[in-house]
Structure 1
Amino acid sequence: MINFNGTIITQDSNILTQNRGFLYGDAVFETVKIVNSKVLYLEDHYFRLMASMRVVRMEIPMNFTMEYFEEQLLSLTDKLSISNSARVRITVYRNDGGYYLPTNNTISFLVHASAIETVSYSFEEKEYEVDLFKDFYITKQLLSSIKTTNRILNVTASIFANENALDNCLLLNDSKNIVEAIQGNLFMLSGNKLITPPVSEGCLNGVMRKQILKLAKTIAEIEIVEEVISPFELQKADELFITNVIKGIQPITKYRKKTFGVNFSKEILTKLNEEIAAVV
């Protein structure tokens, strides 16, 4: 028996009591965008999920191939009739048993999906203000670069942003350098140099981050650098933008008293949409 919201019920009627993802954050996940029944950047998402499972020592089933992964995502969006444009998340969690030490490393997974209104990536040209979140810090370690369900820092930072009428926050690592935004990687344009923090600083090894780095290399005058970004350097930037696979690119227009342009963001967004249109 358990007490659930003040009512005594049988334990079997509440699956959360046996879910290690809920009890210990013992789960990893991927969020993908589906366009015209095609998983964007399928290979990147699949191999990042496999790598994440290996890092936390989950047992990968023999049938969990890339084709199987794709099939599980599309079967749900097809059923929901949203395969034209959808956001889909797959959460992989270790099966129940044990406390901190699991009794086995086998896994189960859960997929859920929702429709996205637009197929192409776009952004509204309106003020988008950010500030630093300094209550808690990301550690410079491998676990910070994968998507686990332990996202309490991001949740707390989101509440802080909402309480302070901010659109987003920039997260710092334990060296007080900027790592990423609440829900995406950060890029900074300074002159002709496009800078993003290296994964070794503790940022997520983002799928869209990889695409932006690749596309930026096609712009002749742009120098691409993965290096540390200190809060002081934000004041000298020409542009700042956030990337993830659902939103694509989100320009930052204001940080404290500094305002930023969006011209490069528009250029790279156009290239991104052209690349996607060519494959879907």
Structure 2
Amino acid sequence: MSDWSQIIVRSFIFLFVLFIMTKILGKKQISQISFFEYVSGITIGSIAGEVIMGLDGNIGHGILAIGIFGLVTLSVGFISLKSNSFRDFVEGKGTIFIKDGKIMEDNLKKEKYSTDELTTLLRQKDVFSLADVEFAVLEPTGDLSILLKKENRPITPKDLNVKVANDKVPQTVIRDGHIVYDSLASAGKSLKWLTNELEKLEVTLDNVFYGQVDSYGDLTVDLYDDKMKQPNPQTRPLLMAMLKKCQADMEIFELETESENAKKMYRKNAKKLNEAISILSPYLTN
């Protein structure tokens, strides 16, 4: 067998071996890895590269070495789940860079970070002023987690004492022009509903590249023809219009009736509808 053939065969063999090893070690090995996993990953890759290009090397020895490193990595991960002290030793602990709005200079020096590097990490989190930060910690994975000062945090419905409905996971009901029936069922919608919604948007299934039902039950579509104007879902605006019409009808009924009790009832319900419209307006307008 020629050298080129051996390299090709070994490449495919170790591609398969590394794929299986990564599947065994889990997704953590390819996402936010610890110091030990970083070293282990580099070593496993180096062994694979050496055996692939080292034509005099033994393939079996390379696979054995990768298996040993993979087993050790798997064992370390398992022990880390059982022992906090072992996990802190292997994976490291978070280092506080900012506490109570003040930079911890000693911790910066310990991790060999300069203030310029700290501000760079903050900018990556869309924070451009140190004065806005209450707390910041460098995670063992190298990411910087920050907590803004209370006055700089975005206002939430909870801050305003506004109750909102829980969001549902958006479901992809059309992909590449084909209906995804499982997602359609998960969204609690029927095929007839989907057909009706497409008719409202004045598009056909063949023209839809991607379709998604959001947490409000609206269908949003992306068309194959990018030059065509994207149709907007009308469910929420129609509901808002219906609420306003009901509120207006209540006011009209109040003026038309001669019964004082009926007038009070219509006035009371019109006021309640007006309050509901004010609360729902941010959610029912496009």
TM-score bracket relative to the smaller structure: under 0.3
Identify the structure with the greater helix proportion: 2
Identify the structure with the greater strand proportion: 1
Structure number with the bigger relative contact order (C-alpha 8 A, sep ≥ 6) is 1
TM-score (norm 2): 0.21
- Kindly name which structure, 1 or 2, has the bigger radius of gyration based on alpha carbons: 2
TM-score (norm 1): 0.21
